[in-house]
């Protein structure tokens, strides 16, 4: 059963418009009646050379609103990408990182405080200009890079500069924040917020026993909870989260990987990631061609076009990956979702 928890983190269109024309605008072709949930990242909106003013940037969100079919649009600040762009040392950060290591990263980030402050002001202006088109926006969650006190200051600045309603802002749990569990409890009890989030699965080994107590506490106080950057049904069926986002559909273009009812099929040029299309049996190839025909695609399009693979991946994920939480689930494979083939 489709749960409508999956949110696709979309890339902003290439200069030639291929992502919009060949992927995202086509999603409704095979998703009639299915909400299409979207996450857009402000950092990538901001660097698009032809979208300079807040009004022009807001038009990107408005354009994507047309294809949501009742789904939601989330906006991410892009703080992680901003840090990568400016060389802030975050590679050593993980759940075992010592407090001293986190402090060192924060000190490095403070050297760019003017950059962060200006970015928050621009983000606030963008959110204000596009507020009629998005549903919720993530805070500028820079706990790892700046520490909690500066992050909290920038949170308040974001609200005041953009004239934003706190109920539409999503604050994010990061293990880097001192006394984060107390902070989370207080956030759950704070009636000014209705949608909150937890950092992604790679930080916490995709461990449901870490996430579910935090989610349960939030649900007790009527909050919706999002997990950042997770996707696999093996994990998401075991956590009671309301929504999660991922970029997994982009594996079609990046890695030549097409998601199918028979597992992922490799269409990369080197064909070294099994199972490669060239190695499929005649019977499976025939079934795959029929499957693609039902989607209005041909095998030639899939072979030659990364955008066609991305599009087909979205349709597959909407049907098979967006599964409901099952309290008793201990493990889940793709074949469990699809049924025996």
Containing 181, the helix (H) or strand (E) segment is: helix 180-189
Backbone angles phi, psi at 166, to 5 degrees: -55, -30
Residues 280-314 pLDDT 10s: 999 999 999 999 999 999 999 999 999 999 999 99
Q: Residue 245 maps to which CATH number?
A: 3.20.20
Q: What local confidence, expressed as pLDDT, does residue 250 receive?
A: 96
Whether the link from the prior residue into 275 is cis, omega within 30° of 0, is: yes
Asked if residue 281 belongs to a domain, the reply is no
Chain centroid to Cα 39, Å, comes to 6
173 to each of 141, 195, 247, how far by Cα in Å?
Answer: 9, 12, 21
The 10s digit of each residue's pLDDT in 147-192 is 888 899 999 999 999 999 999 999 999 988 889 999 999 999 999 9
> Is the pLDDT reported for residue 145 higher than 90?
no
HSE-up of 134 (CA within 13 Å, CB side)? Answer: 28
Q: What is the pLDDT of residues 8-21, one digit of tens each?
A: 999 987 777 899 99
Helix/strand/coil (H/E/C) assignment for every residue in 85-146: HCCCCCCCCCCCCCHHHHHHHHHHHHCCHHHHHHHHHHHHHHHHHCCCCCCEEECCCCHHHH
263-266/257-260 β-pairing: antiparallel
Residue 314 falls within a domain, yes or no? no
333 domain-assigned: no
Q: What is the pLDDT of residues 250-264, one digit of tens each?
A: 999 999 999 999 999
Model pTM? Answer: 0.90
Q: How many domains does the chain have?
A: 1
In sequence order, the 6+-apart residues with CB closer than 8 A to the CB of 172 are 138, 139, 141, 143, 196, 197, 198, 199, 228
What residues does 227 pair with on adjacent strands? 198, 244
Within a domain: residue 341?
Answer: no
| Range(s) of the domain holding residue 231 | 6-255
- Residue % of the chain over a pLDDT of 90: 65
Query: Distance (Å, rounded) from C-alpha 253 to C-alpha 174?
Result: 31
Average pLDDT of the residues in 230-239: 89
Q: Which H/E stretch holds residue 214?
A: helix 208-220
**pLDDT averaged over the chain?**
87
Residue 279 lies in a domain: no
Considering the domain boundaries, does residue 112 fall inside one?
A: yes
Q: In this structure, is residue 335 part of a structural domain? A: no
Residue 274: Cβ-neighbour burial (10 angstroms; 0-12, 13-18, 19+): exposed
Q: Is 337 inside a domain boundary?
A: no
What span, in angstroms and rounded, lies between the C-alpha atoms of 23 and 118? 33
């Amino acid at each position: 059963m489709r749960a409508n928890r999956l949110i696709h983190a979309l890339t902003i269109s290439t200069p030639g418009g291929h992502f919009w024309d060949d992927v995202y605008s086509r999603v409704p072709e095979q998703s009639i009646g299915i909400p299409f949930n979207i996450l857009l990242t402000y950092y990538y909106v901001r660097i698009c050379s032809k979208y300079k003013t807040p009004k022009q940037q807001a038009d990107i969100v408005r354009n994507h609103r047309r294809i949501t079919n009742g789904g939601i649009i989330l906006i991410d600040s892009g703080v992680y990408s901003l840090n990568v762009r400016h060389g802030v040392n975050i590679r050593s950060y993980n759940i075992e990182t010592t407090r001293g290591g986190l402090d060192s990263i924060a000190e490095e980030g403070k050297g760019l405080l003017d950059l962060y402050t200006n970015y928050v002001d621009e983000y606030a202006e963008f959110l204000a200009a596009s507020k009629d088109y998005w549903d919720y926006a993530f805070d500028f969650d820079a706990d790892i890079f700046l520490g909690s006190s500066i992050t909290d200051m920038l949170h308040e600045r974001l609200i005041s500069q953009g004239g934003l309603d706190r109920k539409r802002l999503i604050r994010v749990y990061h293990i880097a924040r001192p006394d984060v569990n107390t902070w989370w409890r207080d956030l759950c009890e704070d009636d000014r917020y209705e949608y909150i989030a937890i950092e992604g699965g790679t930080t916490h080994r995709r461990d449901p026993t870490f996430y579910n107590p935090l989610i349960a506490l939030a649900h007790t106080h009527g909050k919706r909870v999002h997990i950042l950057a997770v996707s696999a049904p093996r994990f998401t069926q075991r956590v009671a989260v309301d929504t999660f986002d991922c970029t997994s559909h982009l594996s079609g273009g990046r890695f030549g990987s097409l998601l199918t009812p028979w597992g992922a099929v490799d269409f990369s040029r080197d064909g070294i990631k099994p199972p490669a299309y060239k190695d499929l049996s005649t019977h499976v190839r025939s079934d795959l061609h029929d499957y693609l025909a039902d989607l209005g695609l041909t095998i030639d399009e899939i072979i030659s076009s990364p955008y066609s693979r991305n599009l087909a991946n979205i349709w597959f994920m909407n049907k098979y990956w967006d599964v409901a939480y099952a309290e008793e689930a201990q493990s889940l494979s793709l074949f469990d979702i699809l049924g025996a083939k």
